[in-house]
Amino acid sequence: MSDIPRGAITRTARLASLPLSAAGRATLGLGQRLVGGNRDEISTAMQRRTAEQLFEVLGTLKGGAMKFGQALSIYEAAIPDVYAAPYREALSKLQNAAPPMAAASVHRMLAKQFGTGWRSRFREFDDEAAAAASIGQVHRAVWKDGREVAVKIQYPGADAALKADLDQLTRVAPLLNMVVPGMQMRPLLAELRDRILEELDYAVEADNQRAFAAAYAQDENFTVPRVVASAPKVIVSEWVDGLSLGQIIRSGSQEQRDRAGSLLTELHFAGPARVGLLHADPHPGNFMLTPDHRLAVIDFGSVARLPDGTPEIIGHVTRLALAGHSGQVLELLRAEGFVPADFDPDPGLLMDYVVPFVEPLRHQTFHFTRAWMQEQAARMSNFSSAESKMARRLSLPPSYLLIHRVTIGSTGVLCQLDAHAPFREIVTRYLPGFAGDEAPAS
C-alpha cells in the first residue's frame, strides 16, 4: 500500500460501512436467536466480527481513523472480560502496526524533504519499514557518521486523511461505544482532534523530542534518543533497541512489568516539572524497556505544554480526598470550575466519586489490574449509580481535559501491564501540592 487513501468519498464509504455492517449483524443475530440459537454464542460472534471489521478498517485507512483506534487501545483494560475477549487481540494489533508504504513512496518523500541527494546523508538505508503506525513509518538506517538511526517518515497524504477522518469519525461514535462501554466518545474525539492535527508537524515533534532528550540526558532510568536531523515530514533520531511495552503486556516477566510500570508512572508525574511538557500519548508502542532496564521513550508527537508544571490544584485535591476532608475538596473543585455554580452536590457523595481515583495512593505499592480498572469503569457506565450521576453533573475545564485523558490512559496501560508500582512514593515526590499532611498508608 503506497499512500493513505485520500479521497473523501472512498474514506467516508469505508467508515460509513461500519455502523451499517453492525446493524446487519444485529438483525442477523436476532433472527438466529428467534430460531433457537444460543444467545451468548451469537453475541460473542457478533462482537468478534464487529471488532475485526472496525479495527481492520481503521488500520487500513491509517491517518486519523487508525490514530483514534490506537487511542482506544489504551482503554482496553477497562473493558469487562466478557466483552473484551472477542476483540482484545484486534485492539493490540493497532498499537504498532499498519500496512507500510512502498519503497518508491519512501524515496519520493525523502527527496522532497532532504533534496535529491538524500542518500548522501546515509551510509545505509533499509527500504523495508521496521515499524508502521498511524501517520508515519520508521526505517532503520546508518547515518553518515556511522550512528544507527531511526528514520520516521510521514505517509503521503496524511494531512488530508487526518482531516477527512476527523470529520467523519463522529458517525461511528455509537459503534465505538460498543468497544469501550461507558466512554463518551464525542468529547474524546473533539479533544483528540486537536492533538492529532498537532502530530502532522514533525518539526514541532522534533523540538519536543530535543527538549525531553536534553532533560533526560545521562539519566539512569530513562533514555530519549537524540534527534540527528529533521524536516516537516521526516525525523531522524538515534536508534534504540528494547522490548516494547506491547510485548511486555503480552508475555513479559513480572519484573519487567513492574519496572516498566514504575518508570511510566515516574515519566507521567515528573515530566511536567522536569521538561515543562507532559508526554500525552501513552499507548504502549511509544515505549520500550532497554536491555539495561531503562524506559526508552520514542514518540513525541503529542504533548501538553505545562511550563509551570502540573497544576497544584490536582495535588491539593488528591491529598485532601485521601485525608477525608470532603468540604475542602468541594470548595477547591468549585473554585477551579469542576463543580458548576448551579450544582450543589453532597460533599460525602462527591467523596464517593473522587476517592476511587486516588485509591492507589492509599498503599505503598499498588497492584494495577484489569479487574480494578473494570470496577472503576463499571461504576461510571452504570447510569443509575450515584457516581455516574455525579460525573455527569461535574465539569472538566478545558485546561485539564488533556491531563485527565493522559492520566486515565496511563493508568490503563499500568493495568494492562498488571504492574506493581510504588505509586504513592512517586506521586509524593513529583506531584505539586500533594506532599503535606500524611494520609494513612497500608
Q: What is the dihedral of CA 236, 240, 241, 244, to 10 degrees?
A: -90
pLDDT at 93: 52
Q: Which distant-in-sequence residues (6+ apart) come within 8 Å of 428 by Cβ?
A: 434, 435
10-55: pLDDT as tens digits: 444 554 454 444 433 333 333 333 334 444 443 445 445 555 556 5
Domain with CATH 3.30.200.20 in the chain: 103-158+198-238
Domain 103-158+198-238 in CATH: superfamily?
Phosphorylase Kinase; domain 1 (3.30.200.20)
Which pTM value belongs to this model? 0.79
349-369: pLDDT as tens digits: 788 777 667 889 999 999 999
290-332: pLDDT as tens digits: 999 999 999 999 899 999 999 999 999 999 999 989 999 999 9
| Residue of 186, 183, 190 lying closest to 391 (CA atoms) | 183
Phi, psi dihedrals of residue 62, rounded to the nearest 5°: 55, -145
Distance of CA 180 to the CA centre of its chain: 14
pLDDT at 158: 79
* Residue whose grid cell is 522534533: 206
CB contact burial 51-69 (16+ within 10 A = b; e otherwise)? bebbbebbbebbbbbbbbb
Alpha-carbon radius of gyration of the chain: 23
